[in-house]
Amino acid sequence: MAGTETLDRSTWETALNQMTEEHQGEFVTIEVLDPEVGHQYEANRLPFAAIVYDPKDDVVAVSVGGRSPRYPVVLRHLVWHPREIDVATQDIPEPAVRIVDKDGTATLITFFPKESGTES
């Protein structure tokens, strides 16, 4: 990803908490890029709730929905035992986070301004 920064593991929790604060009210797309299964969308422009790293369980959780009558249920995508987290925020149309798990499967979370979504 252009303008990408690979985060040091010691900063994951703080950096992802900051991304949660910065992107409230936006929409996200969650894509899973599995080397064996291929490219799959798990969520497409749903309201963003949070992205957090839990060091105790060694898991990143991305939460969408749960903030309006249109999307009343929270969907959580979990990435267990991540080995790398990259953040792209410069020189790109939409900010994104890429998380690579221990098996090499990447999860790509792309943020979109609220105006580009379809929430009512």
Q: Where are the domains of the chain?
A: 4-112
| Mean pLDDT, all residues of the chain | 90
pLDDT at residue 26 is higher than 90: yes
d(CA 25, CA 22): 9
pLDDT score of 92 more than 90: no
C-alpha 82/C-alpha 102 separation (Å) is 6
What pTM, to 2 d.p., does this model score? 0.86
CB 82 within 8 A of CB 73: no
Beta bridge pairs of residue 106: 33, 100
Percent of the chain with pLDDT over 90: 71
